[in-house]
Structure 1
Amino acid sequence: MRIAISICALMGLVAVSAPRTFAQEQPAHHWAIVVHGGAGVIEKSALGPDGDKAYRAGLDRAIHAGAAVLDKGGSALDAVEATLHVLEEDPHFNAGKGAVFTREGKNEMDASIMDGATLMAGAVAGVQRVHSPISAARAVMEKSPHVMIAGHGADDFAASVGLKMEEPSYFFTESRWQGLVKQLKKQNMPIPPRPAGVPPAGEEIPVAVVDESEGSGVHGTTGVVVRDRKGNIAAGTSTGGMQGKMPGRVGDSPIIGAGTYASNKSCAVSGTGTGEYYIRLGVAREVCNLVQYRHMKLQDAVDEVIHKELEALHGDGGVIAITPDGQLAWSFNTPGMFRARLVEGGQVQMGIYRDEP
């Protein structure tokens, strides 16, 4: 009897410890996506009805571009790239075509992307010719041994892997140029010559003011966080940076852990704000740390970082975030943030001003 019991016990131990030989499928998830188009002093009276309508339409196109990818079973990374393509081609947003100018009258754009499942990441800084900076960032992640490439080297790399390239004049918009001229005049700084190859002065479109010289503008950055049906998350951020910035200045958007971060162990985050503060605090990673190590709910974590830690440094801006278990959040300490979110099977929730949900 004792032998029989011992054998049975031993068989039980083997059964428990032996590897399972059948396929273990991942549970299905509802996809979800959150988008931002910048934060700052965004007020109805300044933006006007035409501007309000244009920004909402742009956010709607972008979030549905990402949703279309996810609906077909696409990855979170694919959805991030598709969403930001739309915002980079919309001249209302400070990314890609419509990017702001440096004080020398040039567009220097930054972008980054990160895969929460693998912690792979890619970024570009100060690009001037690649049509889609977010695609260049993804190419750095997938087709180079590096995480970040900057300046002419980043443009040359993008061209070498077959990405669409443009003349610098492609990114020019009259609204952003006139915004630079106005800011430099106010600062009693020299006005650079109008860029080569651009059309004569023409009609402007209503855009959010991005004059940050007195802390009264909009931090014009675009970003997206995504969860796909496999439960993987990803984040991406793309920007023209700070209007009137010194040539070569790099903000938080291409810096992994500052403006962008994603890990399936915590959350995915994209930020928009005064980049220097986001870099010092490591805003994106700080949110993820609170979720992973202090086990905070996502909304509590983003509020803690934006309304306490960032404000303690006198920084301003906002973040969007998502977790693998489906928590969605945004938080900002400015009068407004262009923002939208969508969960599979639901309706788009969108806001611009502080008094909107």
Structure 2
Amino acid sequence: MRVIEIDGGSGPAEALRLSERPDPQAEDGEIRIRVRAAGVNRPDLIQRAGGYPPPPGASDIMGLEVAGEVDQVGPGVTRWRTGDRVCALLGGGGYAEYAVVDARHALPIPDGLDFIQAAALPETVFTVFANVFEAGGLKAGETLLIHGATSGIGVTAIQMAKAAGAHVVATSRGAAKATAALALGADVGLDASAGDLTEAIKAAGGADVILDMVGAAYAEANLNALKAGGRWVVIATLSGALAQVDLMRIMMKQATLTGSTLRRRSADEKARLSAAVEQTVWPWVASGAVRPPVEGTFPLAETKLAHLRLEAGEHVGKIVLTVSSGSG
């Protein structure tokens, strides 16, 4: 099968190489997917640069989410049959023509979605559900503050929060992105590069839950934004990981500061999360309430261009690789 390998260097032009490897085989409890599309995510960029190695036992090939058809069913798998249309969360291996995954981490592609749309779902939907709804405990009527709101995670968080009946305040850099966040359903769109962000968030009413992908640079603004009993959930640190936080104010606000990663969770925990996502979020996807926009698509052989596009930071929504023939 054709795959994308990391072959030295850190930039896309010198680090990414189209290569060939033997087709993987589905073992006990696994399925093999003929990959039609694969999502491109920021952790892929970090892995390419050497900063996010795959967990033990996972493929060293990049790619955390795919969509395609079940091509092979391993022993002990009863839910899936050859030819089923699925999307799946992976620990790695998505940038390839075939991917093997724990059968419990796959979900059926809802009617009306093509493979490209479906490949844009697993990594972001699982991440938002685990962090905003489980760790953050977002409820209907509460306010979710999203930093980086036009990223793949951000656009999904907007749609999922609105589907759950929450109020959304979205920050992003530039007036055009703030407008795009509003078009995606946010109630308030703030340009983080214009004026005092802390005051703008305060004027928007503050937040019950904060989904933070920026990190250190926004720490003070986040602490100011939190309402009493608020939950601040960190999932990335694009501006740096070291921040000074007034713990007394955390105490006085009875606030919670937490964070997590998805990739290194156990197979059983991912299976539990998959079942919860299917029960809660998949009806929203099927109804069209959650349908993250795809910014652009690139053939597998042009993965370097997909990485350059993501690194540029001008995208709104997801970037997806097309793999094999057909897209839906």
What TM-score do the two structures reach when normalised by structure 2? Answer: 0.30
Larger Rg: 1
